[in-house]
């Protein structure tokens, strides 16, 4: 078993990490202070990311993307995600659902995204439909060749900074042996479509500059050409995306945990009490050892999962769920202990730890809560045993 990265993989990671250190992290203080990312800065970072080939590196080469495999993309996510989410997202990695675009969708949505001219957001969650996506109430009713959409989506990341939304809505119902089952379909909808309102969302704990918004659909009319895939096949579309999204969250968490640990370990080596570095005291040194073990296990699970995705193992949904649970919960432990290691200074904005600590809490919720991930894992365990 060879766990060594290839020369190409090392180059990919080093490129992303160096870009993060040079172009992203220096702006974190501004982002934390103002809560907003200046539009000009967003454009500048996006342009620089395009110049070195990071823009759309997750998308297939056949549509102008970088065509990176899952291992390489995971390394890119790790490299960029040492910085705040809003900054890391200036380097666009478009939602891979867009690779399914066809017909008129290509020129109107996909190609502008690939050129860096448009940005998408994704809308699934509603107040009464989070973990239970089939509970969504937003509906699309067919009228002639068009669809008319009504409903409300909330907790939509960066809708106010996007030009169109990947929307999931109910388009019908089927009678099944277990009862009525909603048919979910996927649409691409311009955010300036009449009847669609982007409203300011909620004040949140962390992730400064990464907005959560509310989308109101009131008699919003879209063309039939704006549906992605076939009617009622929305979950088939989204299932292809969920695994990648969950693995991306795991990579983000791994990167933040590594950064928090580095800050804490450096502080423990430099801060002296009673004539020696505090890291030499077991009360500091042993927790650092536990953090290092946690991080090593997270990295092994993360990269092995990415490798299994590339090898097309049949149980990758379970693997991605495992990686997301471990890395997101591990980040919470590491961020907390990193602050404890640095004492009062860990709570100060001079260090990135208090921000990493705040931001970490969301990772156990979005892209599927830890409870949903455990459901996926346990369900697969029972299926393997015929139960």
CB contact set of 270 (below 8 Å; sequence gap of 6+): 277
Render 36-53 in DSSP notation, one character per residue. S--HHHHHHHHHHHHHTT
Alpha-carbon radius of gyration of the chain: 22
Nearest in space to 264 (alpha carbons), one of 279, 282, 244, 281: 279
Catalytic residue check, 367: yes
Q: Contact, 207 vs 229, CB < 8 A? A: no
Question: In whole angstroms, what separates CA 204 from the centre of its chain?
Answer: 17
Dist CA 212 CA 200 (whole Å) = 7
Local structure of residue 126 (DSSP, 8 states): B
Dist CA 78 CA 248 (whole Å) = 9
Catalytic residue among 367, 371, 380, 384: 367
Nearest in space to 337 (alpha carbons), one of 295, 369, 274: 295
Which runs of consecutive H residues, i.e. helices, occur in 125-189? Answer: none
Dist CA 371 CA 165 (whole Å) = 27
Quote the tokens at residue 12: 């990919």
- Count Cβ neighbours within 10 Å for each residue of 46-64 and write b for 16 or more, e otherwise: bebbeeeebbbbbbeeebe
Nearest in space to 366 (alpha carbons), one of 27, 131, 91: 131
Residues designated as active site: 367
């Amino acid at each position: 078993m060879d766990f060594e990265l290839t020369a190409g993989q090392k180059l990919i990671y080093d490129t992303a990490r160096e870009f993060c250190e040079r172009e992203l992290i220096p702006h974190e203080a501004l982002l934390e202070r103002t809560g907003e990312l200046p539009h000009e800065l967003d454009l500048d970072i996006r342009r620089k990311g395009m110049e070195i080939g990071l823009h759309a590196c997750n998308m297939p080469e056949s549509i102008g993307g970088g065509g990176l495999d899952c291992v390489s993309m995971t390394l890119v996510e790790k490299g960029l995600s040492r910085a705040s989410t809003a900054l890391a997202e200036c380097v666009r990695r478009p939602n891979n659902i867009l690779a399914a675009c066809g017909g008129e969708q290509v020129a109107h949505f996909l190609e502008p995204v690939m050129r860096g001219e448009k940005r998408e957001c994704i809308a699934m969650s509603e107040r009464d439909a989070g973990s239970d996506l089939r509970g969504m109430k937003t509906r699309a009713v067919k009228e002639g060749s068009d669809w008319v959409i009504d409903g409300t989506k909330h907790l939509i990341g960066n809708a106010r900074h996007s030009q169109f939304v990947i929307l999931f809505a109910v388009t019908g119902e089927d009678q099944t042996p277990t009862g009525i089952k909603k048919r979910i379909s996927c649409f691409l909808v311009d955010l300036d479509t009449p009847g669609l309102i982007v409203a300011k969302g909620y004040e949140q704990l962390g992730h400064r500059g990464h907005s959560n918004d509310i989308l109101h659909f009131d008699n919003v009319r879209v063309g039939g050409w704006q549906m992605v895939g076939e009617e009622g096949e929305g979950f088939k579309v989204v299932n292809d995306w969920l695994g990648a999204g969950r693995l991306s969250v795991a990579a983000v968490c791994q990167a933040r945990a590594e950064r928090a640990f580095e800050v804490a370990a450096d502080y423990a080596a430099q801060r002296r009490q009673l004539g020696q570095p505090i890291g030499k005291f077991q009360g500091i040194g042993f927790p650092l050892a536990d953090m290092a073990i946690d991080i090593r296990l997270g990295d092994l699970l993360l990269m092995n999962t990415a490798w299994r995705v590339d090898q097309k193992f049949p149980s990758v949904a379970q693997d991605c769920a495992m990686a997301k649970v471990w890395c997101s919960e591990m980040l919470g432990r590491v961020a907390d202990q990193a602050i404890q290691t640095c004492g009062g200074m860990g709570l100060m904005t001079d260090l990135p730890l208090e921000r990493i600590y705040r931001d970490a809490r969301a990772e156990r919720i979005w892209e599927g809560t830890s409870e949903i991930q455990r459901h996926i894992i346990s369900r697969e365990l029972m299926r393997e045993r015929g139960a």
